Structure 1
Amino acid sequence: MTPEALAQEIGRAADGKRRFIAALAGPPGAGKSTLGAALVHALGRGARLVPMDGFHFDDRVLAARGLSHRKGAPETFDGWGFLNLMERLKAGGEVAIPIFDREMELSRAAADVVTDEDRILIVEGNYLLLDEDPWRRLRPFFDLTMFLDVPEAELERRLLGRWEARADGAVWVASNDLPNVRRVLHGSVQADRIIRF
């Protein structure tokens, strides 16, 4: 299925609803951000992307908690804060959202704004369907759940490419990214739609 065809399906499901929230989950390296942006583009006016990555704890917080070596794992996100965001998005009104800046490796607060004109929200993130607290509490906010299914070997290849400029890139992927991949693959609940591209 192409992103355009998937966007048409989402548009039909959202027809007549004041706000429709679709979750796009999947492991690191699956292509969630790319697909989410393509869906928003295909849906056009009234659609907005809401990334979970803006809820990364800052590096200083991770260091203080002894979690620097696990950056990207579920416990390195403000999951309860993200849950509060979903409550506000479901209720409507103007809501500022944080965006994670990959070049700066930090979250920028209020870097985007969701308004009532944004009727269809594509929420993307690794842990949207994770069957652990607080993540499991997100499901009632989603009108549709989608999961990007990519073979683990391909995810490893992509993640090694992502970190190739880093001297310890291969070690980082093996010790951090792949455990996160497996946590998502084996610890997420079934989505409404499984997507394979």
Structure 2
Amino acid sequence: MCLTISTVLTHQHHGIHHVQRFSPDNDVSGNSGIAREDVEPPQSTTIAPEQKQPTHIDYQLVLLVPGFPTAYLKLQEHRICWLIPALCHACSTMQEQVDRLVEKTWEKFQHVSRSQRLMVGVSGIPGSGKTTLAAKVSYGLNKKHAQTSPGTYNGNPVAAFIPMDGYHLSRAQLDAMPDPQTAHARRGAAFTFDAEKFLALVKKLREPILPETRTLYAPSFDHAKKDPVADDIPIAPSVRIVIFEGNYCSLNHGPWKEAADLMDELWFVDVDFQVARQRLIHRHVKAGIARNEEEAAKRADENDLVNGQEILSSRQEVHEVVKSKEDPEWAPEQQGVGDGRD
């Protein structure tokens, strides 16, 4: 059970008021709590656009008990909106959120053609925990595949987890930039990744899977050498679900947007900046990237969280927002220390 402060949001399209709605009827798909527009509210709640209404915005405390949807009408900015909060995902533990996403993705996968892949892009600011989320969902999907399809499993994973780390520009490439000092200092920013190469793989994975389709390869990142390793992650034709993970999987411009538009789902891991900052400081020191907490804090403030601001300000619409919480299984040392770029 949790207490949340909720506001109701609406938007206008071609002069018609569309009412956003939360539906309790889609627990299987995992879309509970996601705004929908496919069902109109009762006629008695409809207000003509020209009818004048109070202009204030008020807030309402709504007590949400999972499993017991609460329906209410709410007046805000000239409109009445109808909400049915079906499930309070903010109350879920990290593992519960993972389990829900596994179920949702598996259900969606059942409707994917045998010649196609289901692709998900997971993004978030550095330190949000997106790497752990993507890895755990991928693991959960493979476990479910083994349990539900033992005859076709044969040890071959149905899901693959592809980190964006492998698309870092190499140190040699950073050296060749007009301002190599800034390029190295800002490593992890969008301009220090090979976005075109990332897009090329996404496009290739979007092609139909045919009998002659060969294994594709994605690059990984060698944290000891601090450089990418080409063709290190195999993606066999039997891999039908691909979970991409990286800062810029939902960016709304350039090749990043082209890649995002090819995804079946976009997820965003939401975290408080101060929580992310503390995780990054811990990680940078543990990984040996920074000699002490002061140096780690400087790195987080001047690079990681600067990138985080761009990620937030340039994020396009996503299908899922996962709330990152403090969880022993999601501690910094469990999220991968690497180059501090989670």
Coarse TM-score class (shorter-chain normalised): over 0.9
Among residues 71, 85, 93, which one is paired with 2:187 in the alignment? Answer: 71
Which has the larger share of helix? 1
Question: Hey, what does 1:161 align to over in structure 2?
Answer: 282
| Aligned residue among 94, 118, 126 for 2:247 | 126
Partner of 2:262: 141
Cα deviation for residue 185 of structure 1 reads: 1.5
Gaps of 5+ in 1: none
What per-residue deviation string (whole Å, max 9, x for no partner) do you get for residues 64-104 of structure 1?
21211110000000001111111111114321110112233
Map residues 7-156 of structure 1 onto 2, 5 A cutoff: 7-17=102-112, 18-44=116-142, 45-65=157-177, 66=180, 67-91=183-207, 92=209, 93=213, 94-156=215-277
d(CA) in 2 for partners of 1:101 and 1:11?
31
Q: Distance in 2 between matches of 1:63 and 1:69?
A: 11
Structure 2, unpaired ranges of 5+ = 1-95, 143-156, 325-342
2:332 maps to which residue? none
Larger mean CA deviation between 164-173 and 154-163 belongs to: 164-173
TM-score normalised per structure 1: 0.95
One-letter amino acid of the structure 1 residue matched with residue 163 of structure 2: P
Match of 2:321 among 187, 191, 194: 194
Identity of aligned residues (%): 28
Structure number with bigger Rg: 2
Mapped partners of 2:254, 2:306: distance in 1 = 18
Q: Which amino acid aligns with 1:170?
A: A
SS of the aligned residue for 1:28 comes to: coil
TM-score, structure 2 length as denominator? Answer: 0.56
Contact 2:281–2:300 (8 Å) recurs in 1: yes
Query: 2:251, 2:260 within 8 Å by CA — same for their partners in 1?
Result: no
Q: 1:109 offset after TM fit, Å?
A: 0.8
SS across alignment from 2:188: coil
CA RMSD of aligned residues (A): 1.3
Structure 2 counterpart of 1:63, which letter?
D
Is 1:177 the counterpart of 2:304 in the alignment? Answer: yes
Distance 1:103 1:4, change over 3 A: farther
CA distance in 1, matches of 2:206, 2:222: 25
Tell me, in whole angstroms, the C-alpha distance in 2 between the residues paired with 1:21 and 1:62: 30
Query: Aligned to 2:254, what secondary structure does the other structure show?
Result: coil
TM-superposed deviation, 1:56: 0.3
The amino acid that maps onto 1:82 is F
